[in-house]
Amino acid sequence: MKHLFQTVTLTFLIAGLTFYSCKKENSCNGCQTNTTIQNPNKPPIAVAGPDQTTNLPVNSILLNGSASSDPDGRIASWQWAKISGPPSFNIVNANSSQTQATNLAEGLYHFELTVTDSLGLFDKDTTIITVNKLYTNEIIFNDQVWQCWWGCWIDIPNLYSHLPSGASFRVFIKRDNSNTWEEAIPVSQVGYGYWVENDGHLIVYGDELGNDTPDIKIVY
């Protein structure tokens, strides 16, 4: 009788464990789960602004990174740094989207902008600043005459005979009705422009032509 009781007890114990195990394994059948899928953070986009040129004695320029953006958040920090160029420079506020670069010297500068978003992702962009030398010498060709044929231009021959060998230069024009010298830009399509032909002829042209006799100034 004792053995029978032990056998029955053991049988019920095994059955109970089996039932509990099955219930535990099947307890989540048919359960609903809520899964939240989060979009990954996207990095910001740094825009250091267009390349710029200044001519000494103007030795400062605006660094403008305000076109930078973050597609899914906000920009938390800005950082300007010079990565190459002459040793003379100063960034007034390196942690601002816009700031002045001052005390620039003749040469080519590369300024890098780093923008960082609120979750630590960042992007970089570079702008190039060209600082031209201070020109102290000038030659003025007075009362030049427009030549017109499919457009109008002023022709100054033998340009290089007036300049030291290898000298860089800039070209300006002053109209009869003005006291202001306006700079002509090499091969410009807007305003006044110029080019130098292979035989040394300086050709100056513009989009506001007339019957006057303007002065041409070469500074070098």
Per-residue pLDDT of 102-115, as tens digits, reads: 999 999 999 999 99
Whole-angstrom Cα distance, residue 48 to residue 134?
26
59 φψ region: left (φ > 0), alpha (ψ -120 to 50), beta (else): alpha
How big is the CA angle at 198 (ends 140 and 147), to the nearest 5 degrees? 55
Q: Considering the domain boundaries, does residue 161 fall inside one? A: yes
Are the C-beta atoms of 76 and 122 separated by less than 8 Å?
A: no
CATH code of 163's domain = 2.40.30
Q: Considering the domain boundaries, does residue 2 fall inside one? A: no
Q: Is the dihedral of CA 70, 73, 78, 81 positive or negative?
A: negative
Q: Considering the domain boundaries, does residue 123 fall inside one? A: yes
Specify the pLDDT at position 133. Answer: 85
Q: What is the DSSP string of 152-180?
A: EEEEE--GGGGS-TT---EEEEE-TT-S-
Domain extent for 211:
138-219
Q: Considering the domain boundaries, does residue 27 fall inside one? A: no
Q: Considering the domain boundaries, does residue 148 fall inside one? A: yes
- Tell me which of 72, 101, 132 is where a domain ends: 132
Whole-angstrom Cα distance, residue 31 to residue 46?
47
Q: Which residue has the higher pLDDT, 20 or 217?
A: 217
Residues 110 and 81 occupy one common structural domain: yes
Specify the pLDDT at position 35. Answer: 55
Specify the pLDDT at position 190. Answer: 81
Residues 120 and 164 occupy one common structural domain: no
- Tell me which of 115, 132, 149 is where a domain ends: 132
Specify the pLDDT at position 135. Answer: 86
What is the number of structural domains in the chain? 2
CATH code of 113's domain = 2.60.40.10
Residues 73 and 92 occupy one common structural domain: yes
> Is 0.85 topped by the overall pTM?
no
| Phi, psi at 166, each rounded to 5° | 80, 5
- Which has the closest alpha carbon to 116: 105, 108, 124, 127? 124
Q: Considering the domain boundaries, does residue 7 fall inside one? A: no
Residues 98 and 117 occupy one common structural domain: yes
Residues 56 and 78 occupy one common structural domain: yes
Q: Considering the domain boundaries, does residue 68 fall inside one? A: yes
Residues 181 and 155 occupy one common structural domain: yes
Per-residue pLDDT of 48-105, as tens digits, reads: 999 999 988 889 999 999 999 999 989 999 999 999 999 999 999 999 999 999 999 9
Residues 122 and 149 occupy one common structural domain: no
Whole-angstrom Cα distance, residue 52 to residue 64?
11
Residues 145 and 215 occupy one common structural domain: yes
User: Exposed (0-12), middle (13-18) or buried (19+): which is 119, by Cβ within 10 Å?
Assistant: middle
Residues 111 and 145 occupy one common structural domain: no
